[in-house]
Amino acid sequence: MPGLNLTRAEAGQRAELLTVTSYDVTLDLTKGATVFGSTTVVKFSAAEGSSSFIDAITETVHSVTLNGTELDPAVVSDGVRIQLPGLAAENELKVVADAPYMNTGEGLHRFVDPVDNEAYLYTQFEVPDSRRMFAVFEQPDLKAAFTFTVTAPSHWDLISNSPTPVPLETTPGDDGGARSVWHFAPTPRISSYVTALIAGPYQSVRSKVTSSDGRVIPLGVFARKSLMQYLDADNIFELTRQGFEFFEAQFGFPYPFEKYDQLFVPEFNAGAMENAGAVTILEGYVFRGKVTDAQIERRAITVLHELAHMWFGDLVTMRWWNDLWLNESFAEYMSHLAAVENTEFDRAWTTFASVEKSWAYRQDQLPTTHPIFAEINDLQDVEVNFDGITYAKGASVLRQLVAWVGPEQFMAGVREYFQKHAWQNTELVDLMKELEAASGRDLDQWGKLWLETAGVNTLSPEIEVDADGTITSFAIVQTAIDEQPTLRPHRLAVGFYDLSAEGKLERTHREELDVDAPGPTSLPLPERRVRTWSCSTTTISPTQGAPRPRILGHCE
Quick one: angle between helices 394-405 and 444-451, nearest 10?
160
Q: What is the pLDDT of residue 550?
A: 53
Residue 553 confidence (pLDDT) above 80: no
pLDDT digits (tens, 9 = 90+) for 343-376: 999 999 999 999 999 999 999 999 999 999 988 9
119 neighbors 110 (Cβ within 8 angstroms): yes
Residue 528 confidence (pLDDT) above 50: no
pLDDT digits (tens, 9 = 90+) for 116-132: 999 999 999 998 999 99
pLDDT digits (tens, 9 = 90+) for 39-68: 999 999 999 999 999 999 999 999 999 999
Beta-bridged to residue 39, according to DSSP, are: 26, 96
Q: Which residue among 118, 306, 328, 356 is the active-site one? A: 306
Q: Buried b / exposed e across 186-220, counting CB within 10 Å, b at 16+?
A: ebbbbbbbbbbbbbbebebbebebebeeeeebebb
211 neighbors 258 (Cβ within 8 angstroms): no
SS3 (DSSP) at 329? helix
**Which residues have CB under 8 Å from 433's CB, separation 6+?**
none
Q: What angle do CA 238, 318, 261 make, to 5 degrees?
A: 25
192 neighbors 136 (Cβ within 8 angstroms): yes
pLDDT digits (tens, 9 = 90+) for 323-341: 999 999 999 999 999 999 9
Residue 530 confidence (pLDDT) above 50: no
pLDDT digits (tens, 9 = 90+) for 393-439: 999 999 999 999 999 999 999 999 999 999 999 999 999 999 999 99
DSSP class per residue in 353-369? IIIIIHHHHHHHTSTT-
pLDDT band at 177 (very low <50, low <70, confident <90, very high): confident
Q: What is the pLDDT of residue 531?
A: 34
Q: What is the pLDDT of residue 194?
A: 99
Residue 525 confidence (pLDDT) above 50: no
pLDDT digits (tens, 9 = 90+) for 261-308: 999 999 999 899 999 999 999 999 999 999 999 999 999 999 999 999
Average pLDDT rounded to a whole number, residues 468-489: 88
SS3 (DSSP) at 337? helix
Count of alpha carbons within 13 angstroms of residue 8, beta-carbon side? 13
Beta strands per DSSP E along 67-144: 69-71, 81-84, 90-100, 107-112, 119-124
Distance between CA 4 and CA 79 in Å, rounded? 10
Q: What is the pLDDT of residue 510?
A: 87
Residue 464 confidence (pLDDT) above 90: no
Q: Which amino acid is at 334?
A: M
- Alpha helices by DSSP H, listed for 100-232, are none
Average pLDDT rounded to a whole number, residues 210-224: 98
Residue 169: active-site member = no
Residue 115 confidence (pLDDT) above 90: yes
Average pLDDT rounded to a whole number, residues 9-37: 98
pLDDT band at 523 (very low <50, low <70, confident <90, very high): very low
Residue 539 confidence (pLDDT) above 60: no
Distance between CA 531 and CA 485 in Å, rounded? 11
Torsions phi, psi of 203, nearest 5? -110, 160
Domains and CATH numbers, the chain: 1-199 (2.60.40.1730), 202-288 (3.30.2010.30), 317-451 (1.10.390.10), 458-555 (no CATH)
Q: What is the pLDDT of residue 190?
A: 99
Mean pLDDT of the chain: 92
The dihedral built from the CA positions of residue 297, 299, 300 and 301, taken in this order, carries a sign that is positive
SS3 (DSSP) at 5? coil
User: What is the total residue count of the chain?
Assistant: 556
Q: Is 551 exposed, middle or buried (0-12, 13-18, 19+ CB in 10 A)?
A: exposed
Q: What is the pLDDT of residue 472?
A: 83
C-beta atoms surrounding 501 within 10 Å: 6
Q: What is the pLDDT of residue 153?
A: 96
SS3 (DSSP) at 243? helix
C-beta atoms surrounding 166 within 10 Å: 7
Average pLDDT rounded to a whole number, residues 225-241: 98
Dmax of the chain from CA atoms? Answer: 94
pLDDT band at 72 (very low <50, low <70, confident <90, very high): very high
520 neighbors 535 (Cβ within 8 angstroms): yes
3-state SS, one letter per residue, for 249-287: HHHCCCCCCCCEEEEEECCCCCCEECCCCEEEEEHHHCC
Quick one: angle between helices 407-421 and 233-251, nearest 10?
90
C-beta atoms surrounding 544 within 10 Å: 13
Q: Residue 106 has what DSSP assignment?
A: S
Residue 511 confidence (pLDDT) above 90: no
Calculate Rg over the CA atoms of the chain: 27
- Between 440 and 463, the more confident residue is 440
Q: What is the pLDDT of residue 335?
A: 98
pLDDT band at 532 (very low <50, low <70, confident <90, very high): very low
CA dihedral 262, 264, 265, 268 (to 10 degrees): 100
Q: What is the pLDDT of residue 495?
A: 87
265 neighbors 198 (Cβ within 8 angstroms): yes
3-state SS, one letter per residue, for 367-424: CCCCCCCCCCCEHHHHHHHCCHHHHHHHHHHHHHHHHHHCHHHHHHHHHHHHHHHCCC
Q: Is 416 exposed, middle or buried (0-12, 13-18, 19+ CB in 10 A)?
A: middle
From 445, 339, 455, 352, select the one nearest 401 (Cα to Cα): 445
Q: What is the pLDDT of residue 221?
A: 99
Q: What is the pLDDT of residue 533?
A: 44
Q: What is the pLDDT of residue 537?
A: 54
Strand order in the sheet with 107-112: 107-112, 119-124, 197-200, 157-160
Q: Residue 345 has what DSSP assignment?
A: -
From 541, 538, 537, 536, select the one nearest 471 (Cα to Cα): 541
